[in-house]
């Protein structure tokens, strides 16, 4: 993750703003990774949409690993 993206996510975390949709995040409703530098989101859907490319890449790696394992 680029330094500027981390700064952006930290700034929004401090203001309780979802980096995906821009909505205010109600207290106690923050969704995301434990690390503040990876952002906080208003919902799991916003988290998934923001991280979509990363999640697709992880899915591809898992599928390949399962296929290799099942073929051995």
Q: What pLDDT, in 10s, does the model give residues 8-45?
A: 999 999 999 999 999 999 888 888 776 888 889 999 99
What integer pLDDT is reported at residue 11 of this predicted model?
94
Give me the DSSP letters along 34-45. Answer: SSGGG-EESSHH
Determine how many CB atoms are found less than 10 A away from the CB of residue 23: 13
Whether the pLDDT of residue 2 is over 90: the answer is no
Q: How many domains does the chain have?
A: 1
Whether the pLDDT of residue 60 is over 90: the answer is yes
pTM: predicted TM-score of the whole model, two decimal places: 0.70
Could you give the 3-state DSSP secondary structure of residue 1? Answer: coil
**Alpha carbon distance 8, 59 (integer Å):** 26
Residue 16 is given by DSSP the state T
Expressed as residue numbers, the domain containing 48 is: 3-71
């Amino acid at each position: 993750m680029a330094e500027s993206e981390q700064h952006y996510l930290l700034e929004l975390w401090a203001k309780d703003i979802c980096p995906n949709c821009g909505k205010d995040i109600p207290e106690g409703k923050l969704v995301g990774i434990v690390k503040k530098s990876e952002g906080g989101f208003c919902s799991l859907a916003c988290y998934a949409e923001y991280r979509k490319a990363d999640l697709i890449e992880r899915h591809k790696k898992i599928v390949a690993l399962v296929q290799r394992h099942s073929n051995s």
